[in-house]
Amino acid sequence: MIIKEIADGIYFLGAMHWERRLFDELIPLPDGTSYNAYLIKNEKIALIDTVDPSKRDELMDSLDEMKIKRIDYVISHHTEQDHSGVIPDILEKYKEAKVIASKLGKELLKEHLLIPEDKIIVVENGQNLSLGNKNLKFISAPWVHWPETILSYLKEDKILFTCDLFGSHLATSKIYADENPRIYETAKRYYAEIMMPFRSKIKNYLEKLEQIEIKMIAPSHGPIYRHPDFILKAYKDWVSNKVRKEVIVAYVSMHGSIEVMVKHFIKALEKNGLHYKLFNLTVTDVGELAMALVDASTLVLATPTVLTGMHPLALYAFYLANALNPKTKFVSIIISYGWGGKALKQARDMFRLKAELIEPVMARGYPKEKDFEKLDELARKIAEKHEGI
Ligand code: FEO
């Protein structure tokens, strides 16, 4: 665990998980991740979040190494186990410690971690907790990304502790964002995978955060921002309604029909002067796809028909796009089929994006001249739509 004093009496306790490659058994982690706890030593001692249970010993050993004999408060911003999982161990070792959480946080801590009710103090939005000559103010921030989430602001040092918000999945020994050249990309990937569904909430929170002076943003994953404008500006851009004129083409092909159609289609996009990104779903890292969807204007999904519906990989990509709720403005679908044309109905039934569905293209068997013409037409329509952005 990396222990570093980041301001007077405030310590970063970061457990690096270099080798972790999957989060929630779902999200690829090409750069590993970190679980950051923070310790504030004042008249009262507060531990801000804990770490993933797999890093329990690192946190407990670090507290011993720092000769911490007493913890008064454990601030639980968010109940997901990668931050709250070691709270029971802290309560076991530091008998006087109380957990600070939101009202819903208290319920979730009881349910998920079996923490006794009398160990938890509920705080409201705007409430102050005095630690001596330093004060923590709690800011309610539901849905970044669970409904119980709070942030906390250390008034005297102007540090905002944000738990998941503004985080990045990046294991690094360089604890400040400005020391990591790839931070923009890792933070964007993290936003895409975790925060994007809550874009409109985040927009509101960013406006609220503009009212307070922030010198440092200290998230519980990835590096700390000692120049917070960098990440605030990036988030402002990602959550805005602004899109890039770019077509994301995500496809899977079984017997070559879709591959031929996609090759023709991207040529047609080029002829119309359109930029695109191509994702073969058999080899795609879904994090890359999610990241591309953060600001692309258009998504085109291409799939063969398997039994009575889309190929499972295309189905997954479609499900993911629906769930991530990107600001994509236009969507279309390219389908090939042999004998049953039900994949289109399935796609239409599943469609949840707040985007305009441009007339899909369907081809039976190997694509013919009329199918290529329809693909040309689709590219033309997209170009027209892009003109209007
Ligand atoms: Fe990092 Fe939602 O947990």
What is d(CA 182, CA 368) in angstroms, rounded to the nearest whole number? 45
- Residue 24 alpha carbon to ligand 1 centre in Å: 9
DSSP string, 205-229: HHHHHTTS--SEEEESSS-BBSSTH
Backbone φ, ψ for residue 6 (5° rounding): -100, -15
Give tens-digit pLDDT for 228-260.
Answer: 999 999 999 999 999 999 999 999 999 999 999
Backbone φ, ψ for residue 99 (5° rounding): -95, 135
DSSP 133: S
Which fold is adopted by the domain 244-384? Rossmann fold (3.40.50)
* Whole-number pLDDT of residue 70: 98
Class of domain 2-239: alpha beta
* Whole-number pLDDT of residue 69: 97
Cβ within 8 Å of residue 96, ≥6 positions away: 70, 71, 72
Residue whose Cα lies nearest atom 3 of ligand 1: it is: 80
- Residue 142 alpha carbon to ligand 1 centre in Å: 13
83 lines ligand 1 (CB under 6 A): yes
- Residue 193 alpha carbon to ligand 1 centre in Å: 11
Four-residue CA torsion sign, 351, 355, 356, 361 = negative
pLDDT lower than 70: segments of the chain = none
Q: Which atom of ligand 1 is nearest to the CA of 167?
A: 1
* Whole-number pLDDT of residue 119: 98
* Whole-number pLDDT of residue 263: 98
DSSP string, 166-195: T------S--BGGG-TTHHHHHHHHIIIII
> Residue 216 pairs with which residues in a beta bridge?
159
- Residue 82 alpha carbon to ligand 1 centre in Å: 6
- Residue 45 alpha carbon to ligand 1 centre in Å: 24
Residue whose Cα lies nearest atom 1 of ligand 1: it is: 164
169 lines ligand 1 (CB under 6 A): no
DSSP 109: H
Give tens-digit pLDDT for 98-137.
Answer: 999 999 999 999 999 999 999 999 999 999 999 999 999 9
* Whole-number pLDDT of residue 17: 97
Q: Which atom of ligand 1 is nearest to the CA of 35?
A: 1
The domain ranges of the chain are 2-239, 244-384
* Whole-number pLDDT of residue 18: 97
Q: Which atom of ligand 1 is nearest to the CA of 221?
A: 1
* Whole-number pLDDT of residue 341: 80
What does the CA dihedral 87, 91, 93, 95 come to, rounded to 10 degrees?
Answer: 160
Q: Which atom of ligand 1 is nearest to the CA of 145?
A: 2
* Whole-number pLDDT of residue 24: 86
49 lines ligand 1 (CB under 6 A): no
148 lines ligand 1 (CB under 6 A): no
193 lines ligand 1 (CB under 6 A): no
* Whole-number pLDDT of residue 25: 84
52 lines ligand 1 (CB under 6 A): no
58 lines ligand 1 (CB under 6 A): no
Angle (CA) 293-299-305 rounded to 5° is 125
- Residue 108 alpha carbon to ligand 1 centre in Å: 14
Residue whose Cα lies nearest atom 2 of ligand 1: it is: 80
- Residue 371 alpha carbon to ligand 1 centre in Å: 46
What is d(CA 221, CA 215) in angstroms, rounded to the nearest whole number? 18
* Side-chain half-sphere CA neighbours of 365 within 13 A: 4
